Structure 1
Amino acid sequence: MSRELYDLVTGLAADSPWLVQALFEVGTNGAILALMALAAVLLWRARTDRLVVASVLLTAVATAVAYLLSELLKVLVAQDRPCRDSTVALETCPPVGDWSFPSNHTVIATTIAVGLLTLSRRHPGTAALALLLGAFAGFSRVFVGVHYPHDVLAGIALGTVVALAVVLPFRVLAAERVTRYSRSSR
């Protein structure tokens, strides 16, 4: 079923106007950069809110952990990319040995988005934008033809689990540490 959905999405991509194709090609990395910028802006604007500072810093830690786990899964699963058998991929197919499962772009984008989502009560607009950017990053990987839909779903699952496992249980403790550090550095 994943292959059929991949074929449907990449077929739509191939029939899309060049501007839409360009948006998705740039957007696949641009969404991650935008999420990183969003986190940095939030960190700067809420720098006096220790819970926000702790949550954003823990999101960075969670992102690194999720990426490393994703790389480990790629080696263990060793699933070839769908673009090897497709003529409609918009992006150049990565070299052999650059495995498909799970999508690293999606793992990174989801981890950042879910990390920022934990702040939705304090910053609902930021959380909503983060989720949109995360979803765009994942969908774009299928649209440009370098991942199967199940690669993206696995990336969403991994990024979500790691973000929640790192940010939620440790943010109060980290916020106390941030407060102690800021007092001691004065």
Structure 2
Amino acid sequence: MFAWNIELFERINASATTPHWMVLVAIAIAQWVIWLAPAWLALSWFRSDALGRRDLLEVLAVILLALAFGQLIVMAWPQPRPFMVHLGSQFLAHVADPGFPSDHVTVFWSAACAALATRRFARMAALWFALGLLVGWSRVFLGVHFPLDVLGALPVAALAALCVRGLRRPMQPIYTGLVSLWARIAGAWQKT
């Protein structure tokens, strides 16, 4: 474990003297902001045309691939969470599993990296990066991640975005097929 990672964790992590309202706000951010990602994907799906839906499938592919990369990293290089090595204060209950990279931040930063490669959703990238940073801060503040767990999500997200982008041509028939299937289902549903 890197000394700067521990030092930065100790500066960010809440303590027994932290105002209770700050802990409650951080808990709300850490637990509930993640639901914005699937909500945005679903809402955008319903509001988009066929091209937008293909872009959304690519965003989803990046998120899923980045999470898979994260699991491979956990198997190859399992890093303990702060409370597992008795550092800092923990204000959020969490399973004692490896914490690098943060799955929550990986979701947001994967969406951001993927959105940058689209025309329709590129403007959302800054928001996704900011939300990832906010969620990452909250999880360090609450003692369930080290700063490196948060920072490690960025290269994982970027690598997944590059891989999915590189596979864009071969994946187009799959994306198009899924969008067409959706159109048929939605058309049949509207007729009933």
TM band (smaller chain): 0.7 to 0.9
Q: Aligned-residue CA RMSD in angstroms?
A: 2.9
Displacement of 1:141: 2.0
Cα separation, partners in 2 of 1:54 and 1:100, compared to 1, 3 Å: same
- CA offsets 1:106-157 (integer angstroms, 9 cap, x no match): 22222123223333x4345533322222222222221111111111111121
What is the rounded CA distance, in whole Å, between the counterparts of 2:131 and 2:45 in structure 1?
18
Displacement of 1:176: 8.9
Q: Does 1:61 align with 2:64?
A: no
Are 1:117 and 1:130, in contact at CA under 8 Å, matched by a contact in 2? no
Given the two structures, how large is their TM-score scaled by the length of structure 1?
0.80
Cα separation, partners in 2 of 1:113 and 1:29, compared to 1, 3 Å: farther
What is the rounded CA distance, in whole Å, between the counterparts of 1:45 and 1:101 in structure 2?
35
Are 2:88 and 2:143, in contact at CA under 8 Å, matched by a contact in 1? no
Query: What residue in structure 1 maps to residue 128 of structure 2?
Result: 130
Displacement of 1:174: 2.3
| Match runs of 1:27-176 below 5 Å | 27-46=29-48, 48-50=49-51, 52-84=52-84, 85-95=86-96, 98-119=97-118, 121-123=119-121, 125-167=123-165, 169-170=167-168, 174=172
Q: Does 1:5 align with 2:11?
A: no
Are 2:82 and 2:145, in contact at CA under 8 Å, matched by a contact in 1? yes
Are 2:99 and 2:145, in contact at CA under 8 Å, matched by a contact in 1? yes
Matching residue's letter, 2:93? T
What is the rounded CA distance, in whole Å, between the counterparts of 1:167 and 1:32 in structure 2?
24
Cα separation, partners in 2 of 1:166 and 1:58, compared to 1, 3 Å: same
Percentage identity across paired residues of the two chains: 25
Displacement of 1:27: 1.4
Query: What residue in structure 1 maps to residue 19 of structure 2?
Result: 17
Segments of 5+ residues of structure 1 without an aligned counterpart are none
Displacement of 1:37: 1.1
Given the two structures, how large is their TM-score scaled by the length of structure 2?
0.78
Cα separation, partners in 2 of 1:130 and 1:78, compared to 1, 3 Å: closer
Displacement of 1:75: 1.9
Are 2:111 and 2:125, in contact at CA under 8 Å, matched by a contact in 1? no
Partner SS state of residue 152, structure 2? helix
Cα separation, partners in 2 of 1:37 and 1:105, compared to 1, 3 Å: same
Larger Rg: 2
Partner SS state of residue 139, structure 1? helix
What is the rounded CA distance, in whole Å, between the counterparts of 2:30 and 2:21 in structure 1?
14
Higher relative contact order (CA 8 A, sep 6+): 1
Aligned length, in residue pairs: 180
What is the rounded CA distance, in whole Å, between the counterparts of 2:54 and 2:27 in structure 1?
33
What is the rounded CA distance, in whole Å, between the counterparts of 2:99 and 2:80 in structure 1?
6
Are 1:39 and 1:116, in contact at CA under 8 Å, matched by a contact in 2? no
Cα separation, partners in 2 of 1:14 and 1:130, compared to 1, 3 Å: farther
Segments of 5+ residues of structure 2 without an aligned counterpart are 188-192
